Chains A and B, each alone.
Chain A
């Protein structure tokens, strides 16, 4: 057993047992971040805060939500929205945060792609981040089932149908997933479990892995410069704060993060109170009815691009395209053959590739919501084909890229 002295203070007492000073150094004051960054580097903190909002609001909602097909709709729209003090506030916060979190995830992902932050030892940061994206998607979908409105029911029907894998017609798998022939009590209960227990646990674990993956390769910077963190941190600790290329995580980086978070929260609360219908679809305020199909069924906005990759093709090809679209972003560290870690605008053809991809994703998103008729179908098909053409082109254009 270690030797313990009589403690001189509470802090000392804790220090002897938990090494809190050392932990604080490792996690915060001597966790070094490059100085050459812009506000896009704060998206990780914005995501953490948004996840915290989701977790806290979710706990409050869980106190009154009833996972029962007879009472779920009213427990949300009457009990929570009307009877419980500030229940409406938690529900709006939860719904808007669940939608906005994807906006920030997409900005975070595209930032990573633009600055090449998935390369040279940073592959695991990218992959753990993509796993988080997939888990968040599952969490969002399972949560969307819970109010048991028309969109919940029909989205549940459509998405679980995908598992019959087109012409293979594996209807047994679909029934096994639903626990019934159509979405019903068993379906609602298991998606409730996934939403409030299994998937949040997975997300929390993955967030831990995502943060841990940053320790060794360190955070990228605006110029993709390789920094000697040993030398630069010594310079900082010796007093040359202005000359050092690195800053402390806390409070240096944190103070910038918190300013970005503050601006973000103002925008977030504006949406929560006054502009929420993009996150609380009006159609879902009709109770689930298996006998009435809504005129237009569409997923939430953040799934639209991959939905549109599925939609313009025939059943089987569409499913294959959809499956590829779900995993293709995982592969970007390996499909990008260029050794350059630099912002896209210095990488020649890759800059064109990046902006075409951004525009293509936006076009796919828009077409995924519009009714599949006439010109929208044609644009959707072109955008879906462009999506695959861009991924096929990526290894070639990056292979030819000049070394910077």
Chain B
């Protein structure tokens, strides 16, 4: 008996060691852990990203200079990169300092309504006019409840900056919503519009996981396991032709968004299993942190909305979690009885054999 326990402990120790090496340890090496910032948008990860880039360029310059015959052409290119990166850091610092300054102001919802009607409704009226691949979303019910206050301030101040996709627009194109920068220019106006959006938004209880997902993610991402498409929920069609007409509309929208993003945003049906809750959550805060260079903009959800998005993705990709836990417990209880019965049987049979 003592010997068997010794053998068992050796087998278990080696098995656990192998498991630890190939699972937790190997995965920690392949995908370094990135901590959530608690859905506070203050630009710290944006600036850290550029700082990181700057130190990479600095290392590259040092490495080139250490060469026997450093290439002047390469050094010039690196110097230009460095200049661009430093300018980008300055721009980001200025932008986030602006956001902080504006956020400290008190908003006046009534004054905000006038600015909103004059400056925002022209595009954000709930229609389906595509602007270079994307449809401006209606804002009235959801924006104030789903998106963070700093983010809303930032998106009026400079949309590409707050979404951390300024790298996409550095050369020729400008962000679809760039015109807002010239339409709403006063700090007080910005904070007033945000106050107005907050005032007219639904209560948190009225924002369902589905609504949060559709507003924050569903305008670019399909979720086919929930019948969700980027042009809305796909209805059940009686007539095959109606269905095909819907599918063509869907394909057109996908083409538009592919043109805008450079790649069709993936269907998120199984993302809860393929990426997991933590990854999705951090990704929503700042996609660049986990997938540097991605064309996906930061969407700026607040912590409550992020939880709802995760809940929706669980419904889509892992709806049997509760059933799994419940059935699992039943089977564990059964197994305890099975082990006891098997042990007693063995004892009874072996009492004559010793």
The residues of A with any CB-CB pair to B shorter than 8 Å are 35, 38-40, 74, 77-78, 81-82, 88-89, 92, 103, 107, 241-242, 247, 251-252, 255-256, 258-259, 261-263, 265-266, 269-270, 272-274, 277-278, 280, 282-286, 295-296, 301, 304, 358, 362, 365-366, 369-371
A67–B67 Cα distance when bound, in Å, is 56
Other A-B pairs beyond A241-B352, A255-B346, A273-B324, 6, CB < 8 Å: A38-B3, A107-B11, A262-B338, A278-B22, A286-B270, A362-B14
Q: Of B18, B332, B348, which one neighbours A366 at CB under 8 angstroms?
A: B18
Tell me the minimal C-beta distance from A63 to chain B in angstroms: 18
> Are the CB atoms of A362 and B349 closer together than 8 Å?
no
Q: Is the interface of B mostly helix, strand, loop or mixed?
A: helix
> Are the CB atoms of A242 and B352 closer together than 8 Å?
yes
A78–B30 Cα distance when bound, in Å, is 29
Chain B residues 266 to 325 lying within 8 A of chain A, measured CB to CB, are: 266, 269-271, 273-276, 317, 319-320, 323-325
B104 within 8 A of A: no
> Are the CB atoms of A259 and B30 closer together than 8 Å?
no
B327 within 8 A of A: yes
A66–B29 Cα distance when bound, in Å, is 36
The 7 closest A-B pairs by CB, nearest first: A273-B328, A285-B274, A366-B21, A369-B26, A262-B342, A285-B273, A266-B335
A39–B6 Cα distance when bound, in Å, is 11
Given contacts A40-B7, A259-B346, contact A282 B353 (CB under 8 A): no
> Are the CB atoms of B346 and A256 closer together than 8 Å?
yes
Residues from chain B with Cβ under 8 Å of A81 in the complex: 320
Q: Which residue of A lies closest to B274 (CB)?
A: A285
> Are the CB atoms of A274 and B328 closer together than 8 Å?
yes
Q: Of A38, A252, A272, which one neighbours B349 at CB under 8 angstroms?
A: A252
Tell me the minimal C-beta distance from B14 to chain A in angstroms: 7
Q: Which residue of A lies closest to B331 (CB)?
A: A269
A224–B268 Cα distance when bound, in Å, is 58
Residues from chain B with Cβ under 8 Å of A92 in the complex: 324
**Per-residue contact bits, chain B 20-33, to A (CB 8 Å; 1 contact, 0 not):** 01110110011000
Q: Which residue of B lies closest to A88 (CB)?
A: B320
Q: Which residue of B lies closest to A283 (CB)?
A: B274
> Are the CB atoms of A365 and B343 closer together than 8 Å?
no
Residues from chain A with Cβ under 8 Å of B266 in the complex: 286
Counting chain B residues whose Cβ lies within 8 A of the other chain, the interface size class is: 35 or more
Given contacts A255-B349, A261-B342, A266-B335, contact A39 B4 (CB under 8 A): yes
Given contacts A38-B7, A258-B342, A266-B332, contact A252 B18 (CB under 8 A): no
A285–B272 Cα distance when bound, in Å, is 9
List, sorted by A's number, 11 A–B pairs whose CB atoms are closer than 8 Å. A78-B269, A242-B353, A251-B345, A255-B350, A263-B339, A266-B335, A269-B332, A273-B324, A282-B273, A286-B270, A366-B18
Q: Is the interface of A mostly helix, strand, loop or mixed?
A: helix
Residues from chain B with Cβ under 8 Å of A103 in the complex: 15
A25–B290 Cα distance when bound, in Å, is 65
B125 within 8 A of A: no
A330–B350 Cα distance when bound, in Å, is 36
B17 within 8 A of A: yes
> Are the CB atoms of A252 and B26 closer together than 8 Å?
no
Residues from chain A with Cβ under 8 Å of B341 in the complex: 262
Q: Which residue of B lies closest to A256 (CB)?
A: B346
Residues from chain A with Cβ under 8 Å of B173 in the complex: none
Residues from chain A with Cβ under 8 Å of B22 in the complex: 278, 301, 304, 365-366, 369
A266–B342 Cα distance when bound, in Å, is 13
Q: Of B17, B23, B338, which one neighbours A362 at CB under 8 angstroms?
A: B17
> Are the CB atoms of A77 and B270 closer together than 8 Å?
yes
Given contacts A82-B319, A262-B342, A362-B18, contact A370 B325 (CB under 8 A): no
Tell me the minimal C-beta distance from B284 to chain A in angstroms: 18
A251–B343 Cα distance when bound, in Å, is 13
> Are the CB atoms of B274 and A286 closer together than 8 Å?
yes
> Are the CB atoms of A366 and B354 closer together than 8 Å?
no
A321–B352 Cα distance when bound, in Å, is 52
